[in-house]
Structure 1
Amino acid sequence: MPGYKGHVVGALAVVGGGLGAAWWLGVYRPEPKVMLLLAAVAVLGSLFPDVDTNSKGRHIYYGAALIADIALILKEQYRYAALLGFCALLPAVGSHRGWTHTWWAGLIIPSAILIAPMVVAHSGWQPFMPYYVAAVAGYYSHLLLDGEF
């Protein structure tokens, strides 16, 4: 069972491989800054299953959530800020290696990336699909490295 560094490397390997394959096949060719954002989303997805423990991954995850929440509040995007806060609290409901280490949580938890724009901004989910896929890939890389599959 790797620590947070192993999960970060695993997420970067998965998202890098996926982006490389998509680029090579001509299916998806994002700009470099979008690729960096997708990598960051994958890394956060890979850290999420362990945020219910006192770990370095937890500090990184909640540090990023805090920065994002402050940015949303400063931009007066209170509904997104509230949704982020709600999602950040979810791991507290359960024990370590409980529901956060299941295959279905890896699909459901990142779905907030698709649902939030529809509910809050009444916009389509399609532009956010790459970020959802990156989050799921990062999450599943964590489960794979922890031997859950």
Structure 2
Amino acid sequence: MSMFREHWLGGLTAYSIFFILSLVTTLTISIFYGTPFDWNPTITLDPLEIVGCFVIALLFGLWPDVDITSKSQKIFYSVLFVVNFSLILFLRRYLESAIIGLLAMLPILSKHRGWTHSKVTMFLLPMLFMLIPIYSEYSNWHWSLNWEILLQQIVSIITWERLPTVAQRGFAFYLAGLIGYASHLYLDGILIGTRKTKGKKAYTI
């Protein structure tokens, strides 16, 4: 059974604690050592981006339960519909829309508390927030099914001199997603395994 209220509150609470601690650390070091206030990549000081981080933490606190009929599922597929609609109608990014649509099917095809409740997914899925800026900024994309070309593309990206700077733009959002996701797994007794949970046993890898 989905614990909708517990999960969205858990995501917001966990990220709020992290944000406050990180903000206090940032301000303290900046004031005492005279460093710029934007030295800390774990949070953003832009008001809109701060709101975005809290929204991401909330959504990722709900996301693992999209594999069952639940309020979480309704929220996420509503958001995905708006995103896909915008990609097709306004931005004309058909490939990206197709990829998102394909990925959106995966949770429904899996069993409840399968890979969506995996610790590995918890770390990997929020990485989209670092990959999206790279995709947007890197100008030498060449889509191909040829493995040699794909390998060359990967090597080229890894050796790209702007990679650390561009990836850092999404790091605060990555952490927001990671913390929200971790709060869900903790409340389900998967992250640490100290809470009792109902239902099927989840993957813990």
Pick the TM interval, shorter chain. 0.7 to 0.9
Alpha-carbon spacing, 1:90–1:115, altered in 2? closer, same or farther (3 Å): farther
The answer to whether the Cα contact below 8 Å between 2:133 and 2:169 also exists between their aligned partners in 1 is no
Show the 5 A alignment for 1:44-63.
Answer: 44-63=59-78
Computing the radius of gyration from Cα coordinates, the structure with the larger value is 2
The TM-score with structure 2 as length reference comes to: 0.65
The answer to whether the Cα contact below 8 Å between 2:2 and 2:70 also exists between their aligned partners in 1 is no
The TM-score with structure 1 as length reference comes to: 0.87
| Residue of structure 2 equivalent to 1:135 | 177
| Residue of structure 2 equivalent to 1:101 | 117
| Residue of structure 1 equivalent to 2:98 | 82
After TM superposition, the structure 1 stretch with the greater mean CA deviation from structure 2, 8-17 or 85-94, is: 85-94
Letter in 2 for 1:61: F
Provide the C-alpha distance between the structure 1 equivalents of 2:47 and 2:136, rounded to a whole number of angstroms.
28
Secondary structure in structure 1 of the residue aligned to 2:189 = coil
| Residue of structure 1 equivalent to 2:37 | none
Alignment gaps of 5+ in structure 2 = 27-39, 139-162, 193-205
Alpha-carbon spacing, 1:13–1:30, altered in 2? closer, same or farther (3 Å): same
Identity of aligned residues (%): 29
Deviation digits for residues 44-97 of structure 1 (CA, Å, limit 9, x no counterpart): 211111101000111011111212222333133444433432332221342101
Provide the C-alpha distance between the structure 2 equivalents of 1:77 and 1:30, rounded to a whole number of angstroms.
30
Provide the C-alpha distance between the structure 2 equivalents of 1:113 and 1:106, rounded to a whole number of angstroms.
13
- Count residues in correspondence: 149
Alpha-carbon spacing, 1:120–1:85, altered in 2? closer, same or farther (3 Å): farther
Q: Residue 91 in 1 paired to residue 107 in 2?
A: yes
